[in-house]
Structure 1
Amino acid sequence: MQSPENPPTPTKHLYIETVGCQMNVLDSEMVVAALRKKGYALTQDPAVADAILFNTCSVREHAEEKAYNNLHHLKHLKLQNPNKIIGVMGCMAQKDQNSIFQRVPFVDLVVGPGQLHKIPEMIEKAELGEKQQLAVSLGRREGNTEDIKRSHETFDPLRDPEMRPTPFQAYLRIQIGCDKFCTYCIVPMTRGPEQGRAPDQIVEEARILAEQGAKEITLLGQTVNSYRYVEGEKVTRIADLLERIHPIPGIERIKFVTNYPKDMTRELLETVRDLPKCSPYLHVPAQSGSDAVLKRMKRGYTIADYYEMMDRINEIIPNPSVSSDFIVGFCGETEEEFQMTVDLVKRCRFKNSFIFQYSVRPGTKGAELYEDDVPEDVKHRRNLELLEVQNKISLEDNMRFLGQTVEVLVEGPSKWSVRKGQTGEFRQMTGRTHCDRIIVWDGNMRQTGSLLPVRVTDVYAFTMMGEVETHDYVAEPEVFQLR
């Protein structure tokens, strides 16, 4: 892995806009780091940028249409300055490829997520007049498995701390691609076959992130707990990675997302239990509470399997915090099947759930096999109903924290503070507990990046309110006792 070198004095400006998952956030960080070596500095103003990049998502139709709308809004900038370079990267670029040039003719670059290492060279060619360059990976039927995998390999991961959620929180990719082929999902086509990165490379990158000030590292993979790397007769799993990363000085917390229910093994859960830096927070999408819907989705497990996994989590990890994903209105979903999803949420009592209305993704098996036959108003109503159930559970479960003192990693000013334009040293601050609950309090900017004991004074479904506990404290799982 390369370490940052002294970049040349910036002579050009880059504007980059990122939507979608944590993978995209990490991809943007690495692209920015590579372009800094070429003399680019970041700007928040597209009008002054020499190069504009959109990192796109294809999981939902709305995200794609928003990307195209944003691109069309740049037409006047291109007319004012024909030398301004505009590029589209990410999953939409891999999926739509040359059709992006047809819909938005003034775009100069289209780059899939497996070809991001080519962006600096492509920008240099565009500066010399080479327009409408395409760099995408092989499709799942366009070669043998090894050739397809190589075409999706990520480039040497240069890192840029300024592009992270906060300077002390960093993403670390351990896996790319996916082989689950859920019928609603485009990811196996846009990010290619599932591949685990080499363990030594992952651990070395974790050390560099810690040296750069990262206190919390989140391991990323499409199905992160499916991670597997074979080297000779040795097989490395995610539990092995956690054990190797845990001793690294400077790292205080380790998380991993997103998980696949069938791969939530006892070994992994016992590792999370036994390593204090591992967060007891697990994100495990269920998607539906109906076996029939799960079968149409090709999820590969039953509701009985999911309940068994939840029982295993609750048995092994003290006070676990589990969140989930759900798709409402999937093809053929009846009212009875939807109510099964409601029942699952009530039984599992997730910390929170991300709920989405199904939208057809061209190129998926769902688009090919099933009719999108649930009316939009029904999808919307089910979305609101499930969200209401989840919010009630989240509020009830947060009530148990009232009066407790929890350890919080301080992320910085709260969204409310930013929205209200608070300036100066004293602000409303925000952070997260070890189990990933959000808490806000009146504090000061010097607290940013530290681990603080905060006593919970009020709770809502998504947020807890608190005040910093100034006494000495002794750490216990999620609860801190005064000496």
Structure 2
Amino acid sequence: MLDLSPKIHDEARQGEAYAPFAKDENPYRKHFYIESYGCAMNFADSEIVASILNDKGFGATRNVEEADLIFINTCSIREKAEQTVRKRLTEFKKLKRARRGMLVGVLGCMAERLKAKFLEEEKLVDLVVGPDAYRTLPNLIEEAEGGQKAVNVLLSRDETYADIAPVRLNSNGISAFVSIMRGCNNMCSFCVVPFTRGRERSRDAESIVAECAGLYNEGYKEVTLLGQNVDSYYHINEEKDETVTFASLLEKVALISPDLRVRFSTSHPKDITDDVLHAMAKYENICKYIHLPVQSGNSRILQLMNRTYTREWYMAKVDRIREILPGCGISSDIITGFCTETEEDHQETMSIMEYSRYDMSYMFFYSERPGTLAARRYQDDVPEAVKKQRLVQIVALQGKLSRESNERDLGKIFQVLIEGESKKSESDWMGRSSQNKVIVFPKAGNAFKPGDYATVEVVDFTQATLIGRNVSQP
């Protein structure tokens, strides 16, 4: 028997992850199994796919060996993710030999670029489906069942899947992702997303608010509004003669209930406005946490990356966040070793990290992606050994900043949304603060359950976790 069980990581903390949708009890006549890699958008897309497959008569399974249909929802951001996907597909190919009629498919961002290689050269898959083509899955499955290679990687200018209710099969029942827009217009030179997910289009605000309200009524206590660049959300309701910006959307969702936490990801520094910051300040249930990718601390490199801001502009944006939202958590994305980066450029990235005092960061060395503007325009000329050395320094600095951030929280009191037991101890609860920090505290002496809010004082910390004690009033 092949061991094909995937590892499961916290997708909020990892650059790539697996998310097998799973239910042991399955009333459906056929079974499907999905692994998702990369960003939260891919996890949300897999929930859309699960809904479509349910309607087709497929139910989810956590046992890949009983699956009639296996999908990998892919990420093309880094080369390592592609290597991981290819390895998994090779393992599934072996499994397929032992299970007649099993179909294997690739979904998402990797579909367009590698469709020919996966289908013809390596014969690893039966279906290839792009992120805007999930509605065609029933027809594509029928084609594949008939022995044809089924492909649809066409991008759309209007698809948002607003009318499809996601199936949240891998949820803790407390937190949920809600996609508010698709695609990206920013054209950062290192990024494949505009080519794999198409142009920006925003979902109508009423469907977003209805989905969030439905989740709250089902017992969920936290929603995360998702988009490649949520701050550029913009929708016009012609019937109501209403224009909805991201700031006004945040307010609409916050007003569902003060008991429902609202998060969002990801922000582009150029688009996060004072209106968004003031909305966050106005409503206690809009979490005080912003993921604000800097990518580089050097203005010349930022220009090559087509990030459309300078070092000084970014620092001023951090100042503005601190001014309007004192105590707001800030995290970042950092790429080291981009084309032509010098040691001096690298040091400027280190110094902007110090200035911004990030609570945490996602840190990578530059990996050239075929088809991007950078691949066409620039030479990937920083030696890999230098990239890795600089990454080690950046990771070490972020470790120091994370410890200092947690040390500043000693003695402070936070409202914690309990997500479940601590992974390290059944005697402790684990939850997150508004600032998105993990806090653990003893179960003893309280009658909390997952989904409850607790008032917790921080008494100790590690680099990644705050340790607290319950000070909630009875």
TM over 0.5: yes
Moved more, 38-47 or 199-208: 38-47
Partner of 2:458: 456
Show the counterpart of 1:119: 137
Match status 1:45 vs 2:51 = no
Which residue in 1 is equivalent to 2:376? 368
Specify the alignment match of 1:75 in structure 2: 93
- Contact preservation (8 Å) 2:160, 2:203: no
* Higher deviation after alignment, 226-235 or 383-392: 226-235
Which piece of structure 1 moves more, 324-333 or 212-221?
212-221
Tell me which residue corresponds to 1:135. Answer: 152
The 1:429–1:218 alpha-carbon spacing in structure 2 relative to 1, beyond 3 Å, is same
Contact 2:227/2:265 (8 A) holds in 1: yes
Which residue is 2:169 aligned to?
Answer: 162
Aligned residue in 2 for 1:186: 192
Question: Corresponding residue for 2:106?
Answer: 88
* Shift of residue 413, structure 1, vs aligned partner: 2.6
The amino acid that maps onto 1:278 is I
Q: Which runs of 5+ in 1 are unaligned?
A: 1-6, 139-147, 418-425, 473-483
CA distance in 2, matches of 1:21, 1:104: 26
Contact 1:293 1:333 in 2 (8 A): yes
SS at match of 1:214: coil
Query: Superposition pairs for residues 344-355 of structure 1, below 5 Å?
Result: 344-355=352-363
Q: Deviations over 1:159-203 (max 9, x none)?
A: 223233x21111111111001000000000000001111111211
Unaligned runs of 5+ in 2: 1-24
| 1:103 to 1:431, Cα distance in 2 relative to 1, 3 A | farther
Counterpart in 2 of 1:144?
A: none
Specify which of 171, 175, 182 is matched with residue 177 of structure 2: 171
Q: Tell me, in whole angstroms, the C-alpha distance in 2 between the residues paired with 1:90 and 1:443.
A: 41
Cα deviation digits, residues 385-434 of structure 1 (max 9, x gap): 111112112111211222333211111133335xxxxxxxx443321001
Secondary structure of the residue aligned to 1:28 is: helix
Is 2:231 the counterpart of 1:214? no
RMSD: 2.0
Work out whether residues 210 and 250 of structure 1, in 8 Å CA contact, stay in contact via their aligned partners in 2. Answer: no
Q: Which amino acid aligns with 1:43?
A: T
The alignment partner of 2:169 has SS state of helix
TM-score, normalising length from structure 1?
0.88
- Aligned pairs (5 A) from 1:221-232: 221-232=227-238
Name which of structure 1's ranges 353-362 and 427-436 shifts more when overlaid on structure 2: 427-436
The correspondence of residues 79-478 of structure 1 with structure 2, limited to 5 A, is: 79-127=97-145, 129-138=146-155, 148-150=156-158, 152-154=159-161, 156-164=163-171, 166-232=172-238, 234-249=242-257, 251-417=259-425, 426-443=426-443, 447-472=449-474
TM-score by length of 2: 0.90
Give the aligned residue type for 1:227.
Y
Q: Deviations over 1:16-36 (max 9, x none)?
A: 111110000001112112222
Structure 1 counterpart SS, 2:27: coil
Any idea what SS the aligned residue of 1:310 has? helix
Q: Is the 8 A contact 2:414 2:433 kept in 1?
A: yes
Cα distance, 1:103 vs structure 2? 3.9
Question: Could you tell me how far 1:86 is from its partner in structure 2?
Answer: 0.7
AA partner of residue 88 (structure 1): V
Deviation at residue 242 of structure 1 after TM alignment = 1.2
Instruction: State how far apart, in whole Å, the 1-side matches of 2:27 and 2:406 are.
Output: 50
The verdict on how the C-alpha distance between 1:121 and 1:398 changes in structure 2, with shifts beyond 3 A counting, is same
CA distance in 1 between counterparts of 2:373 and 2:423 reads 39
Rate the CA distance shift 1:251–1:20 in 2: closer, same or farther, 3 A. farther
Secondary structure of residue in 2 paired with 1:208: helix
Deviation at 1:315, TM superposition (A): 1.0
Pair 398,56 (structure 1): closer, same or farther in 2 beyond 3 Å: same
Deviation track 1:214-249 (CA, whole Å, cap 9, x = no partner) reads 211111111111111234564310111111111213
In the alignment, is the contact (CA less than 8 A) between 2:416 and 2:432 conserved in 1? yes
Taking every aligned residue pair, what percent have the same amino acid on both sides?
Answer: 38
How far is 1:309 from its partner? Answer: 0.7
Report the alpha carbon displacement of residue 155 of structure 1 after superposing the two structures with TM.
6.2
The one-letter code sitting in structure 1 at the alignment partner of 2:349 is T
Please tell me the residue identity of whatever aligns with 1:135: N
Report the 3-state secondary structure (helix = DSSP H, G, I; strand = E; otherwise coil) of the residue aligned with 1:395.
Answer: helix
| 1:477 counterpart residue number | none
DSSP 3-state at the match of 2:286: coil
State the secondary structure of the residue aligned to 1:15. Answer: strand
Following TM superposition, by how much is the alpha carbon of 1:123 offset from its aligned partner in structure 2, in angstroms? 2.1
Aligned length: 446
Post-superposition shift, 1:8?
Answer: 9.7
1:470 Cα offset (Å): 4.8
Q: Is the 8 A contact 1:72 1:104 kept in 2?
A: no
Q: Deviations over 1:338-371 (max 9, x none)?
A: 0000010111101111111110100100000111
Distance 2:29 2:463 in 1: 47
Deviation per residue, 1:98-130 (Å, 9 max, x gap)? 332024314111000111122233223433x14
For residues 66 and 155 of structure 1, the distance between their equivalents in structure 2, rounded to whole angstroms, comes to 31
Q: Which moved more, 1:93-102 or 1:24-33?
A: 93-102
The C-alpha deviation readout for 1:47-102, integer Å capped at 9, x for no partner, is: 11111110110000110111011001112221112300111101001332233202
